[in-house]
């Protein structure tokens, strides 16, 4: 492939297509991760496979894709911003096609910061939809004698025991949050999202760049963005870098998930902020709770970023723009 600088529109198209393909492939595992991370007291699911089996049994096959519409709608700008911003920062920080390690980390930090604008509302809505099935399963499994006071909902008043709770929709949740809390309601947990995504990008992008360099016929410098490795090597580099970064920031992802979950089950904690969440989880569930969903997260992020980087480096955007031009 001829080496060339890729335009910003092409980068955005590449990132968007990469995100759509990746999310479609791994969304059921992401749903299992959210439900496992939100379990506090009653264990509805014993693990990822048990969660997926019970989801299909009670909600049908498409139950595994609860919240997928929101993710697929917003993942295009989210992944486009993340991948394109990292490339732009790397180009700005490079000199003569060379980028030191500190520059790679700084570029990843910038990319992670930029993406939060889209990531936070996307995660907010996705988590509510993904966790609805767990709450329903917990409610049906609760015996009549169990009477712990449920934590208050931030979305709508608690339904009576005799009235079935309607299934939430992204539109209803969005309108209710905007009505009651304004635009800030969609950005609940933005600090925790930033706390997760910035370290993730600071680990992921430098690690991917250095692994990807090993697949080039002329490796040159890891920071040289004008050379590309074969598709398969970029895919594997994305998988490895993604899984390492995902596991490293899993405790931060647990905190973010707990803070952004608006509807709580019976006896489950609500949190006033990041520090309050850390304290309560440590007190009630112990330090191992911060690793809940780590396997699921690695299984989500590894193929997601493997596919994303592979598709990104295929140059779909350049081909599309050349056809339109």
Mean pLDDT by 10 residues, the chain (325 residues): 57 78 87 90 86 92 89 82 87 86 93 91 90 83 54 49 61 89 89 93 92 73 57 88 94 93 81 93 92 90 81 75 76
Distance of alpha carbon 175 from alpha carbon 215, whole angstroms: 48
3-state secondary structure of 98: strand
Res 150: pLDDT: 52
Q: Which residues contact 190 (CB under 8 A, 6 or more apart)?
A: 116, 120
Distance of alpha carbon 107 from alpha carbon 91, whole angstroms: 9
Nearest C-alpha neighbor of 193 from the set 290, 129, 127, 112:
112
Distance of alpha carbon 45 from alpha carbon 265, whole angstroms: 14
List, in sequence order, every residue forming a beta bridge with 95; answer none if it has no partner. Answer: 98
Give me 243's structure tokens: 């899984």
Architecture of the domain made up of 8-141+167-324: Alpha/alpha barrel (1.50)
Res 50: pLDDT: 93
Query: pTM for this one?
Result: 0.78
Give me 62's structure tokens: 């498409």
Distance of alpha carbon 70 from alpha carbon 87, whole angstroms: 26
Res 311: pLDDT: 73
């Amino acid at each position: 492939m001829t080496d060339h600088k890729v335009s910003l529109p092409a980068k955005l198209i590449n990132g968007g297509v990469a995100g759509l393909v990746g999310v479609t492939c791994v969304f059921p595992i992401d749903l299992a991760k959210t439900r496992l991370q939100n379990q506090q007291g009653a264990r509805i699911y014993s693990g990822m496979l048990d969660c997926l089996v019970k989801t299909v049994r009670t909600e049908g096959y498409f139950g595994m894709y609860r919240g997928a519409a929101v993710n697929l709608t917003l993942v295009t700008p989210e992944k486009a911003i993340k991948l394109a911003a990292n490339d732009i920062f790397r180009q700005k920080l490079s000199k003569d096609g060379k980028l030191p390690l500190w520059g790679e980390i700084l570029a990843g930090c910038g990319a992670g910061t930029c993406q939060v604008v889209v990531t936070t509302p996307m995660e907010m809505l996705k988590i509510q939809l993904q966790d609805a099935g767990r709450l329903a399963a917990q409610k049906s499994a609760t015996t009549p004698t169990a009477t712990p006071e449920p934590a208050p909902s931030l979305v709508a008043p608690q339904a009576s025991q005799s009235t079935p709770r309607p299934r939430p929709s992204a539109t209803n949740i969005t309108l209710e949050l905007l009505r009651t809390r304004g635009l800030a309601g969609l950005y609940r947990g933005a600090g925790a999202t930033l706390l997760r995504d910035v370290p993730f990008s600071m680990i992921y992008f430098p690690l991917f760049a250095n692994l990807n360099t090993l697949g080039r016929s002329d490796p040159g410098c890891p920071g040289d963005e004008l050379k590309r490795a074969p598709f398969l090597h970029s895919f594997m580099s994305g998988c490895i870098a993604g899984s390492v970064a995902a596991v490293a920031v899993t405790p931060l992802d647990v905190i973010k998930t707990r803070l952004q979950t608006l509807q709580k089950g019976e006896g489950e904690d609500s949190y006033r902020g990041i520090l309050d969440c850390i304290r309560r989880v440590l007190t009630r569930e112990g330090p191992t709770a911060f690793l809940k969903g780590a396997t699921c997260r690695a299984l989500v992020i590894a193929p997601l970023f493997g596919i994303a980087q592979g598709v990104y480096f295929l140059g779909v955007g350049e081909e599309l723009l050349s056809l339109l031009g």
